[in-house]
Amino acid sequence: MSFTSTVTLPCTPDEAFALLTQPERLRRWQTVSATVDLRAGGDYRWTVTPGHVAAGTYREVEPGRRVVFGWGWDGSDDLPPDASTVTVTFEPAADGTTVTLTHEGLTEQQAAMHAEGWHHYLERLGKMAATGDAGADEWAWAPENLTPVTAADAALASLQPVLRGLTDDDRTKQTPCADFTCHELAEHLFGSLAQLGGMAGATVVNPEEGSLENRVSTMAAQAIDAWRAVDLDGMVPGPGGEEMPAGFLAGVLPLEIALHGWDFAQTSGQELRMSDEVVGYLAELGQTIIPGGRGRSFGDEVVPAEDASALDRLAAFAGRSTL
């Protein structure tokens, strides 16, 4: 079976094409992270919501006019990568560009599920094209079956708007981490993402270009994907090369992303928005991970304000005070 959906965007065909093919733009309306090799035969990999990764191969690429790609889900037996076909066309219209998406090669049940998904995300695409910001995706807000990996996806989704909101004036500001200005904290985060990804067997590459949000998102996606493939009940090399429980080290990743996201938000006067479900899960991880890292990665616990949010209380447990 197949279905077709159409949306008109207030932009040129080239701009509309970019919204559906460039990772920095995809992250603003459809994905938490996206890897794209935009050429016929090139692969893509999109974490649409925490723990749900769409993947496949581009079959046709005509910039500003048409893109065709295989579609499926990583780890799915029912609809694996490249098992179905998505065709998107871009046609000039009086008020912008008409984008038509057709998804073919689905069962009746798959077609119904994907129709709901595409309608949701095409609505967000329209909002993104019209206002520049589709806002937080409610489907990614409180993932089911939280694990260190899905929590890392959720933490990254919460961090991205904060990174986009940073300005040049924030670079030299002191963060709640006493050793770091905002710029130094970004450099620290690059290093920790590379180290944590390395423990899972990946070589995490810093793109060295684009916005801070792009660099952090790209590196975090590499680290998270590496941990996706690790047996969390097994052992992996720790920071000093010694074998350590994989589940313990995997839990450091979402805490690192979330707590430094809180640091960036505090420094720049923003709010790091994260669901109670995700914060609660991170707090459970923190009870196991943070005490053993005091004096190195974490400071002594501080007393939070009486009206502190759950996220502020987690930060206080990790030795951070609000600015």
Q: Inform me whether the pLDDT recorded for 208 exceeds 90.
A: no
pLDDT digits (tens, 9 = 90+) for 34-85: 999 999 999 999 999 999 999 999 999 999 999 999 999 999 999 999 999 9
Q: Inform me whether the pLDDT recorded for 201 exceeds 80.
A: yes
Structure tokens at 271: 């709010």
| Residue 202: other Cβ atoms inside 10 A | 18
Domains of the chain: 3-138 (3.30.530.20), 141-317 (1.20.120.450)
Mean pLDDT of 108-137: 96
The pLDDT value given to residue 43: 98
Judge whether 236 and 200 are in contact, CB under 8 Å.
yes
Mean pLDDT of 203-224: 96
Q: Inform me whether the pLDDT recorded for 323 exceeds 80.
A: no
The overall average pLDDT reported for the chain is 96
pLDDT digits (tens, 9 = 90+) for 143-186: 989 999 999 999 999 999 999 999 999 999 999 988 899 999 99
Q: Inform me whether the pLDDT recorded for 241 exceeds 90.
A: no
pLDDT digits (tens, 9 = 90+) for 7-44: 999 999 999 999 999 999 999 999 999 999 999 999 99
The pLDDT value given to residue 178: 82
Residues, the chain, total? 323
The pLDDT value given to residue 296: 87
| Residue 26: other Cβ atoms inside 10 A | 23
For 30-74, the DSSP string reads T-SEEEE--STT-EEEEEEETTEEEEEEEEEEETTTEEEEEEEET
pLDDT digits (tens, 9 = 90+) for 245-281: 999 999 999 999 999 999 999 999 999 999 999 999 9
Nearest to 29 by CA among 11, 48, 5: 48
Nearest to 87 by CA among 15, 14, 2: 2
Q: Inform me whether the pLDDT recorded for 220 exceeds 90.
A: yes
The pLDDT value given to residue 230: 97
Q: Which DSSP letter does residue 140 get?
A: G
pLDDT digits (tens, 9 = 90+) for 293-308: 998 889 999 999 999 9
Q: Inform me whether the pLDDT recorded for 207 exceeds 90.
A: yes
Percent of the chain scored above 70 by pLDDT?
100
